[in-house]
Amino acid sequence: MHERELRTFVRIAELGRMDLAARALGYSQPAISYHVRSLERALGVRLFRREAAGSRPTPEAERLLPWARAALRLFDLMRSSADGKRRAFADEPSLLG
């Protein structure tokens, strides 16, 4: 399970269509489909019902969405924390130079 798969899952659920999620995330449609299949395999559940009007989350997906959003918030917090550390180190004088 990867961050990009979780982001794809959440974005499709929010937008209701894989093509819109692909455009919003900067991925191709085949890449989005691959992310969904990979996450479905990892979780052992089907996440979306494909319909003419788009993709509707399954009941299992609805139960997992809050967890996916929480995991993505943690990814974002970790990245922000690491960015802050990098900036702090960049401002420190170097002992070598």
pLDDT tens string, the chain, 97 residues long: the values are: 999 999 999 999 999 999 999 999 999 999 999 999 999 999 999 999 999 889 999 999 999 999 999 999 999 998 888 877 665 555 555 555 5
Instruction: For 3-80, give the CATH class.
Output: mainly alpha
Residues 6+ apart with CB under 8 A from 84: none
Each domain of the chain, given as residue ranges in start order, spans: 3-80
d(CA 60, CA 48) in angstroms, rounded, equals 9
Whether pTM > 0.75 for this model: the answer is: yes
Which pLDDT value is given to residue 8? 98
